[in-house]
A and B are shown apart, each in its own frame.
Chain A
């Protein structure tokens, strides 16, 4: 922008707004890291629980879930810390994105406690919450595959109603692959194309 005080006409004003917002939005794009990280962890833990419970007949197969945050939380925190060091900007969309998933995490912990206390399957509750957070992420990033992924998770939660508790984790694994991992890889591909 060489001109010190170029006075714009309405067409030029609109063009400047669109071009600048397009540039700024590129910084808002996520690369799908968290969807891939948690997608793989949840899918593996779900299949692992099913295997330990149904095949090996273990007494405490759900303990596999304790391993998941031990890997996921440090990995996610290190990733965010490194990204903050690289990009100093505060970003409105990213802030909302973080708040949506913070709300998800709080609701998830409460739901797990309620499900265990009432001796009901936590899977439909977890899938419903994950669907909502994924749906909001898709809207915030304007990325339709995440919105469709959320729909898959909602359908998965509803399907659980018709199935015995023992196979709920397999529905969860399938839902996570379609609802998290597929959109996550698509987001990653999109980010690579835009060098995000």
Chain B
């Protein structure tokens, strides 16, 4: 029986952000931009959606007087990713 997949994670970029953050607990905006190859505008829009869903926390701070945006998974985000992966596996069972 196929499980319905979380639409929030059915977007290519949002899923890439979540997957990356599952390994790297906390990442800077620029690191996410480099690793996903997304444009700054698109990345910012998808991060906002994940933040609104409560999947990630975004912290805006400064380092050496330069603005720094840090993204990290919330416990809700971790649960959502794990549930998504478990549901996804139902599509590949023989």
Interfacial residues of chain B within 35-94, with CB under 8 A of chain A in the complex: 35-39, 42, 45, 63, 72, 84-85, 88, 91-92
Contact A20 B16 (CB under 8 A): yes
Contact B5 A10 (CB under 8 A): yes
Bound: A22/B25 CA distance, A: 15
Contact B24 A14 (CB under 8 A): no
Min C-beta distance of A154 to chain B, whole Å:
30
Chain B residues bordering chain A, tally (CB within 8 A): 32
Interfacial residues of chain A within 85-99, with CB under 8 A of chain B in the complex: 88-93, 95
Contact B23 A7 (CB under 8 A): no
Contact of B85 among A17, A88, A89 (CB under 8 A): A17
Min C-beta distance of B66 to chain A, whole Å:
12
Contact B23 A14 (CB under 8 A): no
Can you sample 23 A-B contacts with CB below 8 Å?
Answer: A1-B12, A1-B16, A1-B37, A3-B12, A5-B11, A8-B11, A17-B15, A20-B15, A20-B19, A21-B20, A24-B23, A25-B23, A27-B23, A27-B24, A88-B63, A89-B24, A89-B27, A89-B28, A90-B25, A90-B72, A91-B23, A93-B23, A95-B25
CB within 8 Å of A: which residues of B?
5, 9-13, 15-16, 19-20, 22-28, 31, 35-39, 42, 45, 63, 72, 84-85, 88, 91-92
